[in-house]
């Protein structure tokens, strides 16, 4: 799987093994938070569609993405029902907020930052999906095996869109450096000890 391999080389650090080891004891939180992440991925795409109505090719891409993420949400919901997991409110992980704190206010850098954020979140999700298939029973892990390819594609689409927009706007002189700042934040958020188990949490301390 070429796409999945490129996700691993993009990220600066692998998820800590301690996070994967904790998964079997936290399956309800994993599934609920994963369902929330799929909803959030769809709503992030939708909010970008409201803000950037002049970016027609991007609108098509985001619209397809939002539909796909909602389909994933339905798949997680079905799995939760099959596993007898009750959908309750869970506070979000610090991860998404931590990454979004880096987004610049000024355009066109702001949109490029949002696209970088999207790429990093999708890459990290894909990497976790890969590891989850190792530690979950087959009736749950099967979903994660099936979702890997689409998240790797979402990662590539977001990253390509960021590069394309930067080429036309010249917003960043050194885009790889800017991407590196988000990857550094991701590495910190994913490896630093956390208090609650979530889909994008660090290892529990
Ligand atoms: Fe998804
Ligand atoms: Fe995705």
Distance 71 CA to ligand 2 centre (A): 11
136-156 per-residue burial string, b: 16 or more CB within 10 A, e: under 16:
beeebbebbeebbebbbbbbb
Is the residue at 143 inside a domain? yes
Please give the tally of structural domains in the chain: 1
Q: Which ligand is nearest to the CA of 151?
A: 2
Is the residue at 4 inside a domain? no
Looking at residue 82, what is its pLDDT? 97
- The Cα–Cα gap between 126 and 120 comes to 10
Distance 170 CA to ligand 1 centre (A): 30
Q: 15 and 127 in contact (C-beta within 8 Å)?
A: yes
Q: Is 202 left (phi over 0), alpha (psi -120 to 50) or beta?
A: beta
CATH of the domain at 80: 1.20.1260.10
- Parent domain of 32: 19-191
Give the tens place of pLDDT for each residue, 10-20: 999 999 999 99
Is the residue at 80 inside a domain? yes
Q: What is the mean pLDDT of residues 102-109?
A: 98
- The Cα–Cα gap between 157 and 151 comes to 10
Give the tens place of pLDDT for each residue, 132-147: 999 999 999 999 999 9
Q: 158 and 122 in contact (C-beta within 8 Å)?
A: yes
Which ranges constitute the DSSP H helices of 52-174? Answer: 56-83, 94-100, 109-135, 138-169
Q: What is the mean pLDDT of residues 192-202?
A: 97
Is the residue at 12 inside a domain? no
Answer yes or no: is pLDDT of 3 > 80: no
Adjacent-strand bridge partners of 194: 204
Q: Which ligand is nearest to the CA of 147?
A: 1
Answer yes or no: is pLDDT of 196 > 90: yes
């Amino acid at each position: 799987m070429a796409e999945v391999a490129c996700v691993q080389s993009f990220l600066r650090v692998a998820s800590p093994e301690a996070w994967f080891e904790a998964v079997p004891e936290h399956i309800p939180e994993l599934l609920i938070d994963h369902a929330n992440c799929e909803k959030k991925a769809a709503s992030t795409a939708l909010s970008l569609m409201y803000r950037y109505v002049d970016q027609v090719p991007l609108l098509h891409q985001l619209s397809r993405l939002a539909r796909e993420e909602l389909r994933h949400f339905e798949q997680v919901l079905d799995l939760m029902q099959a596993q007898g997991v009750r959908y309750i409110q869970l506070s979000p992980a610090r991860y998404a907020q931590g990454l979004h704190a880096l987004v610049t206010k000024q355009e066109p850098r702001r949109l490029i930052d949002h696209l970088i954020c999207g790429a990093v979140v999708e890459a990290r999700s894909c990497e976790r999906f890969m590891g989850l298939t190792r530690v979950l029973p087959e009736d749950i892990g099967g979903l994660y095996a099936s979702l890997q390819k689409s998240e790797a594609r979402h990662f590539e689409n977001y990253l390509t869109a960021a590069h394309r927009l930067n080429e036309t706007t010249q917003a960043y002189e050194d885009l790889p450096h800017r991407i590196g700042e988000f990857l550094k934040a991701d590495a910190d958020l994913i490896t630093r000890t956390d208090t609650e188990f979530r889909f994008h949490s660090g290892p529990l301390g």
